[in-house]
Structure 1
Amino acid sequence: MLNILVLGGTDEARRLAAALAGRAGTHLVSSLAGRVRNPKLPVGEVHEGGFGGPEGLVAWLAERRIDVVVDATHPFAARMTASAVEATGRAGVPLLILRRPGWQEGPGDDWRWVPSLAAAAESLPELGERVFLSTGRRSLPVFAGLDGLWFLARSVDPPQPPLPRRLEVLLSRGPFTVEGELALMREHRVDMLVTKDSGGEMTTAKLLAARELGLPVVIVRRPPPPGGVTAVETVEDAVAWLETVAGAGDVHAG
């Protein structure tokens, strides 16, 4: 039996679990950090709540006799990825990183790349007064001191303070449509969009809507990937890698 741990919470993680479900000789456990209420659950066994850092993950891998780990977390989950790299290295367990490709600027786009959320916040006053903030609820404290700006923030769960003084929160979960995003931006008369380079198709509609409206988009770059770790961009490539590793005998039998 090949025991696989998928560090998930993303659409790619759910699709990988579905692709491997029911395969003879394979058992997959999907891990969710528990940061979102009522998350979309993958098929199969699910572990919720994290592991307690690298030390806890090393112990968990040994206890469950995990043969291989796939890190399919969000592209900005740098702490979880670093923990996975450290833990699998210490445990001698192969690690694969599954990351969807980032977004690519196209004709008509007005994108402003920044290295961090703090840099994004600094850039906003010169761009306008009404901000569509699509960077996740945990990022809102970074923008709390910008009292001269009005914010529309969208997240799955309610954000926690500190928060911007002039803030409207929209609780919603993607995917979204271009028509819906256009209507939202027009209704709230936003001057700019702020987002992170999450990649994928579930939330690209906001970028297309901003292009059509001629709005500037401030985009936070992804954290750099860890060195020395195999990485793929598609679920199909992840499945092929797992088959290759298992066939080569590079994992111990669970």
Structure 2
Amino acid sequence: MLYFQFQSWPKFALSTFMTTDKGIACTAIASSEVETVLNDGTVKISLSTDYPFNNILKFTVSVDKPLDFNFDIRIPGFCSSARVNGEEAISGEYYNLSKTWIGEEIIEVVLNYETVFINRPEDMVAVRRGPLLYSIAIEEEWNMIDYGKDEELRVYPHCDYEVLPHSQWNYGYVDKNIEYMFNGIGDIPFNPKESPIEASASVVEINWPKNNGIVARVPVDRKPISEVKTVKLLPYGCTNLRMTEIPFIEI
């Protein structure tokens, strides 16, 4: 039901930190804070980060008296490498900090990523870097749908829209060179106009028709029908219209 859909966000927030047999673990990455009692002492841990658009995590651990406990930090498996306070950490595992904690301490985690082309069905590929999947951003044409005077509840600004492509989308990659540009975090990061990250890729147009107004599942053929051009990629969640799975083209 619709009213259950929003439960995911508070439940996700509740899952960022969890207790373990010997202390506390950071199990999911998001700016968050936890305060609890361990061994008759108060422990406060905060995480500050712009993840998934940034690869740096800053933990602040504060205790009201010297306390012995473990702090485990989950290192995502998609990282090519990672470091915790300069020490190498293993991707896909928890990095364990077992010590006597005194006062306040800062822990910095750096997650390193590589661009990966994921093989998909029908000999297509998708671009992923770290936690983000990237799509070719399609320019949009928004048209209000007019249902007439009898539909007073569906007039602007509560009307429906159809969103049509206003730029080419029938592309294939010609190489694996993806360049990234970081724009900083705005008020609405998951937005085509305010995406914190943009990428560029080299592509060519191919013969990829529509069937009854809908893009065909696969292109007709994979021969280039244009010169090589550069297109913009955005994180999948920052797009409304997108092409995510496309082929490699030999030129």
Relative to the length of structure 1, the TM-score reads 0.28
Choose between structure 1 and 2 for higher RCO, CA contacts under 8 A separated by at least 6 residues: 1
Relative to the length of structure 2, the TM-score reads 0.28
Query: Which of the pair is proportionally richer in helix?
Result: 1
Q: Larger radius of gyration, structure 1 or 2?
A: 2
